[in-house]
Amino acid sequence: MDLLFTDAVLLSCDAHHRALDHAALAVRGNRIVALGKRAEVERQYPDLPRFDARGLAIMPGMVNAHTHTVLMALRGTVEDWSGDSIYRYMTPISYAMTPAERAVIATLGCVEAIRSGTTTLVDPFRYVAGYVDAMAATGLRLWVSEACADIDTRRIRHGDYSIDPAFGEAFFARATALIDDYHGSYDDRVRCQVAAHAPDNCSPAMLHRLHELARTRGLSRTIHLSQSPLEVAAVRARHGLTSAAYLAREGFLGPDLIAAHWTFCDRADITLLAEHGVQMAHTPASISRRGLHKALLGPIRDAGVSVAFGTDNMSEDMFQAMAVGSIAWRTGRGRGDGIAQEGGVDPSPQDILVAATRAGARSVGAEQEIGSLEIGKKADLTLIDLNTPAMRPMIRLPSNLVHYGHPGIVHSVMVDGEFVMRERKVLTVDEPALLAEAEAVTRRVWRRMLEQNPDIRRPESELPWLEG
């Protein structure tokens, strides 16, 4: 699309944190070709169709560096239940779904992402080929991967960590087929990563095979790391090492690896990961729902680790991630940790915005293409309505966005130069029909999961609708 946005506030999220008022931004095709003072850009591009952006701020679309859209089916349940949710609920429900059901729930996640000002999702999961077309149809930019394992994740809740070559081979075959069929598809809006699910369910052989796949295909890699006490104990029992040390032993660490969570990494782990240039996908809101994130965020920050934000499970709201993330990082060593100097607190709102935009782009090797408002970059844009109560009074816009922003302030969203939401209407999905279908699918899948897994006990009276 060729378009000239005029009279806007521009938040670049670039290396200089530039902010411009009464500015203009020109788009040709799918690229930003100019931005700056309104009069200058209008003189450069007098014939472009105009979009009056008075009362709007334009920022780069947010990059959700780690999410699982299919697990929207668990929303409002495991956040409040005790015990391990990964192998007790997340794994069983994903296997209980049909491809069509996964597509419906994943589409719901994409729509929430759009309404939350997100333009890119990084989504490692399983059976991805069965629903990636539905996700791509929403217009979002995607990095997808089949999160491989060769220890059957369905058996782990029973204490079985035996290596299953057939299980691993099926995962690897799906991963390579996904790359063959989808990397660079949808006019390059869909790309692939190579994903190992987690250190506790990947043998050394699987890690080596995945590393080689990424190397030969030139792809970035991702993994869950030290996300639960169960994982930490299992890796210690099998290998006598922490999860990070196990990955280091197998040569799996490197700057092309984005590792999610780091919840139970110790200081030695952090040093090791930083030395290898591993990036962190921090999901502060998701991890903090049972209590503030336990990761050693102060030492991680001190080590110079590049941190991107994601939402992980049950939500695609990056505003929530920024708000909780700001609190978590400012209290990384305890109350008052965030005070850097008189008149300043670390990290700043601008730093948090970068974690939700440019650092996410960096995590998938796309910092030269997306993540900031700069000439030559893709036109992935989020327009914010400044005339809303949450944005006023507007003394420091970045602070308002980080501390008080919410999906209701998002006016329009553009991906690859095309609107996917305009004036609060999602253009790529029949939203009312989707909401009704997702509700029906979720109830059906929950019933099926509990029938297929009679050992899974749900809290009494927590899901009364299952009886209806």
Tens of pLDDT along 29-50? 999 999 999 999 999 999 999 9
Burial grade of 11 (CB within 10 A; 0-12, 13-18, 19 or more): buried
What is the set of domains in the chain, with CATH numbers? 62-371 (3.20.20.140)
- Map residue 340 onto helix, strand or coil: strand
Which DSSP string corresponds to 225-289? ES--HHHHHHHHHHHSS-HHHHHHHTT--STTEEEEE-TT--HHHHHHHHHTT-EEEE-HHHHGG
Distance CA 174, CA 127 (A): 7
Tens of pLDDT along 309-361? 999 999 999 999 999 999 999 987 654 444 444 456 889 999 999 999 999 99
Judge whether 405 and 349 are in contact, CB under 8 Å: no
Structure tokens, 24 = 């203009």
* DSSP single-letter state for residue 319: H
- Map residue 405 onto helix, strand or coil: coil
Distance CA 222, CA 363 (A): 9
Beta-carbon neighbour count of residue 119 at 10 Å?
28
What is the crossing angle of helices 165-182 and 204-217, to 10°?
Answer: 10
Distance CA 60, CA 119 (A): 8
Judge whether 33 and 27 are in contact, CB under 8 Å: yes
Spatial CA neighbour of 230 closest among 90, 26, 52 = 90
The confidence score (pLDDT) of residue 461 equals 59
Tell me which residue has tokens 């699987």: 206
Beta bridge partners of 52: 6
Judge whether 414 and 139 are in contact, CB under 8 Å: no
Entry pTM = 0.96
Beta-carbon neighbour count of residue 151 at 10 Å?
22
The two counts, helices (H) then strands (E), for the chain are: 17, 20
Judge whether 242 and 265 are in contact, CB under 8 Å: yes
| Residue segments in the chain with a per-residue pLDDT below the cut of 50 | 335-342
